[in-house]
C-alpha cells in the first residue's frame, strides 16, 4: 500500500488498493480486521490500479493520480462512482505517480513526465496545461514517492527515494519546494545527510502543530520524526 490519508473533518482514513482497483474508506479509529465503510470501485470510476491519493476536506473531494491523468471523486463517493473531473491529455504532461492537494491556495501538485513536478489549478479539468513545471538537473529529482503540502506556507514536501533499482541510491532526500516555484530550481530545503540517517525515504506526512515531518524509510523499515520548525512558516497571502 503506497498511500494513506486522514480526513480530520469526518474522522476517516483513506487508502488506495491497486490490486482490486478500489479506493477504501475506513473509520478513523478502525482497528484489526474491520471492513471499510465505503468503497469506490466499478466501471464508471475508470480507476486503473490506483496507487496513491490525497483528500481535500475543504471542497470535499478525493484526488487520485492514475497513470497519465488525475481522477477527482466526491469525498463521500461510494460504489461505482464516475469521477467529477479528469485532468488528462497531452498538454497536461502528467505521469501520475504521486499527488498532493492545497485546498487553501487551490493548487494540485502532481508528478509529471521526465522527473518533473506539475502544479495545476485545483479545479483543472480535461487537457489543460500545468500552471508551473518544476523540472531540470538543479531540482535533483530522480524519483518521487509520497508528497504532502503545508498550505499555509504554500510548501510542497516530497519523498525522494533515488533511482528505481538502486539498493542504496546515492541521491536521496526529502525535498521541499514552494508551489510558486517554476522551472529548473533547486529545492528550498532538503532533509538528508549523515545525521539524518535517511537511506531510502519513501513517504512523508506533516504535523504543523508540532512542527514535525514524519518520514518512512524503506531501507531501514523505520519511521522517523524530524523537528523542522523553520519550514512551518506561513507565507503572506
Partner 1 sequence: MPGMEMASLPAAIHAMEALPKAEGSGLVCAVPPRASAAGFAASPVAAEAAAEPPQDVTAGAGTAYQSRTRAGMINRKPVRYLKDPYPAFSAIAVNAENDMVMVTDENLFRVVEYSRRDNTPAKTQITEPRRVIGGPDTKTEMMCGAYIDPQTLDVYVTNNDTQNWLPVFSREARGNAKPERMLMTPHRTWGIAADEQRQEIYLTVQDPPLVIVYRKQAVNNEAPLRILEGDNTELADPHGIALDMQRNLMVISNHGHRRFYGGDGHAINTMTQPWEQWVSRLDDLNSPPRERLLGVGQFDLPSITIHERGVSGNTKPLRVIKGPKTQLNWPSHVAVHEGRGEIFVANDADDSVLVFRESDSGDVAPIRVIKGARAAVKNPTGLSVDEKNNELWVASMGNYTIAVFPIAANGNAQPLRMIRGGPQDHTALMIGNPGAVGYDSKRKEILVPN
Query: Interface residues for partner 1 in 159-178 (CB under 8 A)?
Result: 163-165, 167-173, 175
Given the complex with partner 1, which of 164 and 236 has the nearer CB atom? 164
| Pairing assessment for the beta strands 61-65 and 54-56 based on DSSP bridges | antiparallel
Q: Does 197 bind partner 1 (CB under 8 A)?
A: yes
The footprint of partner 1 on residues 74-133 (CB under 8 A) is: 80
Binding string to partner 1 for residues 201 to 230, with x set by CB under 8 A, is what?
A: -xxxxxx-x--x-xxxxxxxxxxxxxxx-x
Place of cell 488498493: 17
The answer to whether 231 and 150 are in contact (CB under 8 A) is yes
Q: Does 185 bind partner 1 (CB under 8 A)?
A: yes
Backbone angles phi, psi at 117, to 5 degrees: -115, 125
Using the Cα atoms of residue 124, residue 126, residue 132 and residue 135 in order, give the sign of their dihedral.
positive
Given the complex with partner 1, which of 168 and 237 has the nearer CB atom? 168
Given the complex with partner 1, which of 22 and 129 has the nearer CB atom? 22
Cα separation, 109 vs 42, in Å, equals 26
Q: Which of 20, 34, 59, 184 binds partner 1 (CB under 8 A)?
A: 20
Given the complex with partner 1, which of 45 and 116 has the nearer CB atom? 45
Cα separation, 144 vs 228, in Å, equals 21
End-to-end CA distance of the chain: 36
Nearest distance in Å: CB 189, partner 1 = 5
The H or E element containing residue 212 is strand 212-217
Q: Which of 49, 126, 183, 234 binds partner 1 (CB under 8 A)?
A: 49
Q: Which of 77, 112, 151, 187 binds partner 1 (CB under 8 A)?
A: 187
Q: Does 33 bind partner 1 (CB under 8 A)?
A: yes
Grid coordinates in use for 124? 483543472
Cα separation, 18 vs 86, in Å, equals 18
Q: Which of 47, 62, 100, 118 binds partner 1 (CB under 8 A)?
A: 47
Amino acid at each position: 500500500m503506497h498511500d494513506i490519508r486522514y480526513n480530520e473533518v469526518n474522522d476517516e482514513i483513506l487508502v488506495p488498493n491497486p490490486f482490486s482497483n478500489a479506493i477504501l474508506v475506513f473509520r478513523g479509529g478502525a482497528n484489526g480486521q474491520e471492513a471499510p465503510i465505503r468503497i469506490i470501485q466499478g466501471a464508471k470510476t475508470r480507476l486503473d490500479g490506483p496507487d496513491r491519493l490525497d483528500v481535500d476536506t475543504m471542497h470535499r473531494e478525493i484526488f487520485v493520480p492514475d497513470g497519465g491523468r488525475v481522477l477527482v471523486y466526491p469525498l463521500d463517493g461510494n460504489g461505482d462512482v464516475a469521477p467529477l473531473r479528469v485532468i488528462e491529455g497531452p498538454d497536461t504532461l502528467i505521469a501520475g505517480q504521486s499527488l498532493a492537494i492545497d485546498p487553501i491556495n487551490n493548487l494540485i501538485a502532481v508528478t509529471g513526465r521526465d522527473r518533473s513536478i506539475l502544479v495545476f489549478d485545483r479545479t483543472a479539468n480535461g487537457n489543460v496545461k500545468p500552471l508551473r513545471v518544476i523540472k531540470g538537473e538543479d531540482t535533483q529529482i530522480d524519483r518521487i514517492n509520497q508528497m504532502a503540502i503545508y498550505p499555509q506556507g504554500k510548501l510542497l514536501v516530497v519523498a525522494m527515494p533515488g533511482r528505481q533499482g538502486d539498493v542504496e541510491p546515492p541521491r536521496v532526500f526529502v525535498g521541499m519546494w514552494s508551489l510558486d516555484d517554476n522551472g529548473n530550481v533547486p529545492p528550498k530545503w532538503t532533509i538528508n545527510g549523515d545525521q539524518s540517517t535517511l537511506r531510502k525515504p519513501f513517504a512523508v506526512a506533516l504535523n504543523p502543530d508540532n512542527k514535525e515531518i514524519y518520514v518512512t524509510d524503506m531501507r531501514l523499515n523505520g519511521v522517523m520524526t524530524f523537528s523542522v520548525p523553520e519550514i512551518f512558516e506561513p507565507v503572506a497571502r
